[in-house]
Structure 1
Amino acid sequence: MSNPSPIKVVDGTTKNPHAIFIPIPLQGHLIPSVALTMKLASNGFTITFINTQVIHHSIMKSSSTPNDDIFEKARESGLDIRYTTVSDGLPISFDRSLNQEQFEECVFHVFSAHVDELVGNLVKGDPSISCLIADSCHVWPSMISKKYKLVNISFWTESALVLNLYYHWDLLKKNGHYTTCDDVIDYIPGIKSIKPKDLTSYLQATNTNTVSNRIMYKALFEDAKHADIVICNTIQELEPRTLLMLNKTQPFYAIGPLFHNKFTQSLVSTNLWSELECSHWLDKKAPKSVLYVSFGSYAHINKHDLGEIAYGLLQSGVSFVWALRPGMVSSNEPDALPLGFEDQTKDQGLIVPWCNQKAVISHASIGGFLTHCGWNSILESIWCELPLICFPLYTDQFTNRKLVVDDWKTGVNLCERNLVERAEVAKNIKYLMMGETSNELRLNTKKLKRTLEDALAVGGSSQRNFDKFLGEVNVKIDQMKGAI
């Protein structure tokens, strides 16, 4: 079965769709955005990719061979990808992590003006630009795409279940969720039932007037619904009921998982911190004997919980690699681990500030993953057939935990209560790595891996959906031109 190309021939000349792509300036969003860019360019698109200046600066700072154009190697391979940057409205030196509320207010109110100016200049300089692909968490895509007469393509980097919850924010309010939030929620179309503790952090919040909540409400309840097309980094077979509901709302395509052709390698750097090599240490360990620990690139953890997890690792006796990024507790508190912990565990564990996660979790010695339940990490762990210990911290991670532990049975909770205690941490680590039930978790994960492989294969659901998406883009471009 041959894949239809988005390339069109009009009046004897070849026409490629040209899209501007603007991700959210966070590494967890940047990774699938770059993967999608590569996939689109490999299928005939011209892409102009826009990073914020601060993200570009971090990538350059972390790279051993910095290059002002992160897509240079991709372009050398024949892909038509252009690259530029835009200000988010704040100086590069501004500490966005320490001053998160100020940063988010700027993203809400100022960033769109910089994007508007840049997109206007790009369209003026290149009339071939016909599409805007923007992360669904932006608040401005419908306004800017309408202003410059571009097909509005919304890219949702998380699970379909999470987006469906945001799409029905009004039902949560109508049913008194914010005043009676102990009731099981069974009134959202496409979701049989969900407990309040499994909603995203924004939907669990009692104060709905924070800037974070206002951004998410504006972006996902109001703006994303106006997109001409939504593409999602999920798999049809993993979320069939939810996807059926979303497809009734607007053209919606599950095209995940968005991995590069070579899982552990990429022509494009997306790292905001320098990676340390772990393979020499891992090579000395027995197969499936090491637990990988990482809580992602953005969310913070309090010092008590971090300390209890550290001592739980020590008490478990299990070998581990821990990617503990700088500023995990706070950017003004770099030394977050208990005093002397690294000396106590020097024969048991390897602690690094950052690493190539895909390379580590695909190593034969890794047997499990203690994770914050970021969506990228979940998809990557399935691909590597790793069961998970789940410790959600922020945003969609609570809902992702539900999918992993309750629905797919591929992981366990770090602690059953809100209180993190080292004894329970140690017990669950041993349970995942050594217990009889771990065999069942591994078997379930192996089944999900086959689901992902089948979806990506020729004729698989993700490949079919991607082909349909390409056809839909051409239809929308023609309609947009006809309306001008």
Structure 2
Amino acid sequence: MARPHVLVIPYPVQGHVIPLLELSLCLVKHGIKVSFVNTKYNHERITSSFAEGSDIGSKISLVWIADGSDSAEKAKKPVSTGEVLRHMPGKVEELIDCLINGSESEKISCVLADQSIGWALDIAKKKGIPRAAFCPAAAAQLVHGLSIPKLIENGIIDKNGTPLRKQTIQLSPSMPSLSTENLAWLNVGNLTTQKHIFELMMRNIKSMQLTEWLLCNSSYVLEQSAFTLSPNIIPIGPLLTSNASGNSAGNFWPQDLTIMNWLDQQSPSSVIYVAFGSFRTMSPSQFQELALGLELSNRPFIWVAQPDFRQGNNNEYPQGFEDRVGDRGQMVGWAPQKKILRHASVACFISHCGWNSTMESVSNGIPILCWPHFADQFLNKSYVCDVWNVGMGFETDERGIITSNEIRDKIKQLLNDEDLKERAKHLKEKVLSGIREGGKSRNNLDGFVKWIKMKN
């Protein structure tokens, strides 16, 4: 009898690809075959970024579909949200048909799809294939999405997702509060992109009713109220596995592993780690204020500015900055974040508050200085600062700029707050207990694996 075979389909951006690859590696360890579907653009970026000695390609079948464009120039760019809606469904259905009509070993036991592309679940249902959805974001973010009809009914937003007035909403007393200005779909790109994201979210409300499992990269410890509101969401996180080389799976850029040698030479709890994910943009003036703030901190730091971020915005370091910070400042294009956040030399994380970064920081007891930019990051900041109390936010000046003095002062304030640091360590232990043998997240994942094997 052939092994159970799961077809995994992420939303085609790095923050969604990484946790689904981590989950895929978990499934492989349980004897399940995984075929992981990327767009051609993402497939090429990921495979070219594999660290030397990476064993991911030997464990998981990495397959790709066309990006939905015949243009050679456009094929070199990420898939837009509109293309996710228009072109990807047909390409995915063609792939599924090919597998269904192939050998016995290729038959699909389950389609595991990112919950933000519910159309993949629609296709699986049409083909008679068991279905599971995965949320790479906070359960609270998913609950907010599923609550859109109620938000419309209560006159908080209109049918297009536009807030009818500025207000703060809180779905339950112990969940994070969120301004209607920061609803996830309102902080992603231009108006066309926002429209497409909202359209996807509305479609997904119906698609979620088709799934037999709705998994989430979170834990009961972190989001008990969200799981109480929506008990059909099953936490299996945080997903912290990695490949044999110890590096995260699914990076779009090669990681600068030499930074670990420098980190080994730093004092315990001394290094500021700065990283804003794969989508962050920053004005030249804000970029310079950040550089000067790190300089003023007088602490060693690692600053990750991925190549697209710097080149696309013509950001330059302040004159003489690199000479003044010398060896204590390490500016890199892309870094092995999981390894860095596990390192004893790291004191805090200046972060955009993407959910993956938040999970990695919390799981290592690292306090967070929150600098959200778009989508769900504002909700995650509320968790960090207001619910878990393991971080702080920055204040902007009258220009909307976070100044160098504000950065310096918040670093000092956070690192002098012993109670906050102790809360971060305590939360780490509670979170990790959930993924150990007998923990709730671990038991949920084991239950999902058994279900897949039963469906084979």
Provide TM-score, normalisation by structure 1.
Answer: 0.83
SS at match of 1:231: strand
1:118 and 1:337, CA in 2 relative to 1: closer, same or farther beyond 3 A? Answer: farther
2:126 is the alignment partner of 1:147: yes
Name the CA distance, whole Å, in 1 between partners of 2:173 and 2:127: 34
Tell me how far 1:233 sits from its aligned partner: 0.5
2:223 is the alignment partner of 1:229: no
Tell me which residue corresponds to 1:60.
47
Given candidates 154, 161, 177, the residue that maps to 1:194 is 177
Q: Is the 8 A contact 2:353 2:377 kept in 1?
A: yes
Name whichever structure is richer in helix by fraction: 2
Deviation string, structure 1 residues 311-339 (Cα, Å, up to 9, x no partner) = 1111222221101101226x533544444
Tell me which residue corresponds to 1:279.
260
Q: Which runs of 5+ in 1 are unaligned?
A: 1-13, 75-80, 479-484
Name the CA distance, whole Å, in 1 between partners of 2:214 and 2:151: 23
Given candidates 366, 370, 377, the residue that maps to 2:350 is 370
Report % sequence identity: 28
Q: Is the 8 A contact 1:198 1:402 kept in 2?
A: no
1:344 and 1:379, CA in 2 relative to 1: closer, same or farther beyond 3 A? Answer: same
Tell me which residue corresponds to 2:331.
351
1:218 and 1:273, CA in 2 relative to 1: closer, same or farther beyond 3 A? Answer: same
Deviation string, structure 1 residues 240-272 (Cα, Å, up to 9, x no partner) = 11112212xx4x310101111679704x74221
1:391 and 1:454, CA in 2 relative to 1: closer, same or farther beyond 3 A? Answer: same
1:209 and 1:34, CA in 2 relative to 1: closer, same or farther beyond 3 A? Answer: closer
SS at match of 2:360: helix
Map 1:97-116; keep pairs closer than 5 Å: 103-116=80-93
SS at match of 1:154: strand
Tell me which residue corresponds to 1:30.
17
Deviation string, structure 1 residues 344-381 (Cα, Å, up to 9, x no partner) = 32243110111111122222211110000011111111
Q: Is the 8 A contact 2:396 2:403 kept in 1?
A: no
1:204 and 1:347, CA in 2 relative to 1: closer, same or farther beyond 3 A? Answer: closer
User: Which residue identity lines up with residue 440 of structure 2 in the other structure?
Assistant: S
SS at match of 1:467: helix
Given candidates 268, 290, 297, the residue that maps to 2:278 is 297
Map 1:1-150; keep pairs closer than 5 Å: 14=1, 16-63=3-50, 65=52, 70-72=56-58, 74=59, 81-90=60-69, 93-94=73-74, 103-126=80-103, 128-150=107-129
Tell me how far 1:419 sits from its aligned partner: 3.5
2:435 is the alignment partner of 1:456: yes
1:147 and 1:197, CA in 2 relative to 1: closer, same or farther beyond 3 A? Answer: closer
1:455 and 1:33, CA in 2 relative to 1: closer, same or farther beyond 3 A? Answer: same
Tell me which residue corresponds to 2:395.
415
User: Which residue identity lines up with residue 278 of structure 1 in the other structure?
Assistant: I
Q: Is the 8 A contact 1:19 1:47 kept in 2?
A: yes
1:139 and 1:344, CA in 2 relative to 1: closer, same or farther beyond 3 A? Answer: farther
Q: Is the 8 A contact 2:305 2:333 kept in 1?
A: yes
1:209 and 1:294, CA in 2 relative to 1: closer, same or farther beyond 3 A? Answer: closer
SS at match of 1:21: strand
Q: Is the 8 A contact 1:23 1:135 kept in 2?
A: yes
Deviation string, structure 1 residues 413-433 (Cα, Å, up to 9, x no partner) = 022675422211111012123
SS at match of 1:237: helix
Aligned residues: 444
Q: Is the 8 A contact 1:369 1:387 kept in 2?
A: yes
Deviation string, structure 1 residues 193-234 (Cα, Å, up to 9, x no partner) = 723168443156896883443354245434334322111110
Deviation string, structure 1 residues 382-433 (Cα, Å, up to 9, x no partner) = 2221101000111111100000010001000022675422211111012123
User: Which residue identity lines up with residue 214 of structure 2 in the other structure?
Assistant: V
SS at match of 2:177: coil
Name the CA distance, whole Å, in 2 between partners of 1:190 and 1:126: 53
Given candidates 369, 375, 384, the residue that maps to 2:364 is 384
Name the CA distance, whole Å, in 1 between partners of 2:292 and 2:205: 42
Tell me how far 1:236 sits from its aligned partner: 1.2
Supply the RMSD in Å over aligned alpha carbons: 2.9
1:64 and 1:317, CA in 2 relative to 1: closer, same or farther beyond 3 A? Answer: same
Tell me which residue corresponds to 1:253.
234
Name the CA distance, whole Å, in 2 between partners of 1:338 and 1:96: 32
Tell me how far 1:474 sits from its aligned partner: 5.8
1:106 and 1:120, CA in 2 relative to 1: closer, same or farther beyond 3 A? Answer: same
User: Which residue identity lines up with residue 88 of structure 1 in the other structure?
Assistant: D
Name the CA distance, whole Å, in 2 between partners of 1:237 and 1:402: 16
1:95 and 1:53, CA in 2 relative to 1: closer, same or farther beyond 3 A? Answer: closer
Tell me which residue corresponds to 2:413.
431
1:395 and 1:123, CA in 2 relative to 1: closer, same or farther beyond 3 A? Answer: same
SS at match of 2:116: coil
Tell me which residue corresponds to 2:160.
none
User: Which residue identity lines up with residue 55 of structure 1 in the other structure?
Assistant: N
Deviates more, 1:220-229 or 1:114-123: 220-229
Deviation string, structure 1 residues 70-114 (Cα, Å, up to 9, x no partner) = 421x3xxxxxx33311122135753876xx7x8222122111111
Deviates more, 1:292-301 or 1:366-375: 292-301
Name the CA distance, whole Å, in 1 between partners of 2:287 and 2:94: 43
1:63 and 1:49, CA in 2 relative to 1: closer, same or farther beyond 3 A? Answer: closer
Deviation string, structure 1 residues 252-301 (Cα, Å, up to 9, x no partner) = 310101111679704x7422112211122223321111100000122323
